[in-house]
Amino acid sequence: MNSSWLKELGFTEGNWSLRKGSIEDLVAVSDVEKECFPPLEAATEESFRERLKFYGNHFLLLYKGDQLISFVDGFCTKEENLTDLMYEDASLHDEEGSWQMIFGVNTVPAYQRRGIASKMLEEFIRMAKEEGREGLVLTCKKEKIPFYSRLGFSLEGLSDSVHGNVEWYQMRLKF
């Protein structure tokens, strides 16, 4: 995987690596999720155990040495819209699915606002395109709409999701 963008962002020192996920990443992924999301919105360690088991190859992880700095995850499906059930049931992953869903975009607070999440998403988008998907779908809070729009996602409106008792908006990037 291409991580040359790290130098573009000014990260020249350190042992950086970009790779897909595996069960060995469970604790690190769970810890970063807890740092990035409020308790009602954060996925549990058990949820990540299932996600990594069913679709670890759809996790993109950025490590500095042995510290997880950022990750993006989500599964593939033939369904066009992201539903709350998808977050809860990793077995719904369909490797032949035409849509790459995005469940989480996480960067530890100490590394936020440096362009890492944008570059991680660009790489995740590139991977989905390379795999022959029709595009990607995500839900986000209202204040994140401009961020995802800059990356090419289009707002489709309010989502049916009630995850974490928050108002979510669905966005899509079609190839």
Q: What is the pLDDT of residues 131-163, one digit of tens each?
A: 999 999 999 999 999 999 999 999 999 999 888
pLDDT at 12 over 90: no
CATH number at residue 12: 3.40.630.30
* Gap between the Cα atoms of 82 and 59, Å rounded: 17
Q: What is the pLDDT of residue 85?
A: 93
pTM strictly above 0.85 = yes
Average pLDDT of span 27-54? 95
Counted domains in the chain: 1
* Gap between the Cα atoms of 72 and 80, Å rounded: 19
Question: Residue 146: which domain range?
Answer: 5-174
Share the mean pLDDT of the chain. 94
* End-to-end alpha carbon distance in the chain: 21
Question: Could you tell me what percent of the chain has a pLDDT over 90?
Answer: 85
